[in-house]
Amino acid sequence: MLIGLIAGALTTAGYLPQIVKGYRTKRLEDVSYLLLLMLLAGMALWLVYGLLNWSLPIIAANLIAVVLIVVLIAMKRRYAAMAKQ
């Protein structure tokens, strides 16, 4: 289980640099909506799989990843709207 938690933490933390960079620059136009939606769908399915199998590492990593992807989508939408003003 420890290896799963470490792996999940490392892969999930991969979204943080993009969130920080986007927050600092207020620009996310280089990040594709298709990429974000595909990642969101995949992580959501992994989350369901983890819940069905009651696997804490899968649940934790993918729950956090889903939240971070939703944050990226919201930031992308907000910054795109700000750029149009």
Q: What is the pLDDT of residues 11-66, one digit of tens each?
A: 999 999 999 999 999 999 999 999 999 999 999 999 999 999 999 999 999 999 99
Q: Is residue 75 part of a domain?
A: no
pLDDT the model gives residue 5: 86
Show the tokens assigned to 74.
């919201």
Q: Is residue 20 part of a domain?
A: no
Distance between CA atoms of residues 50 and 60, nearest Å? 9
Host domain of residue 53: 33-57
pLDDT the model gives residue 28: 93
- Pick from 3-12, 23-32, 65-74: least confident: 3-12
Q: Is residue 46 part of a domain?
A: yes
8 Å CB contact between 32 and 80: no
Q: Is residue 17 part of a domain?
A: no
pLDDT the model gives residue 57: 93
- Has residue 85 got a pLDDT over 90? no
pLDDT the model gives residue 41: 97
Q: Is residue 25 part of a domain?
A: no
Q: Is residue 82 part of a domain?
A: no
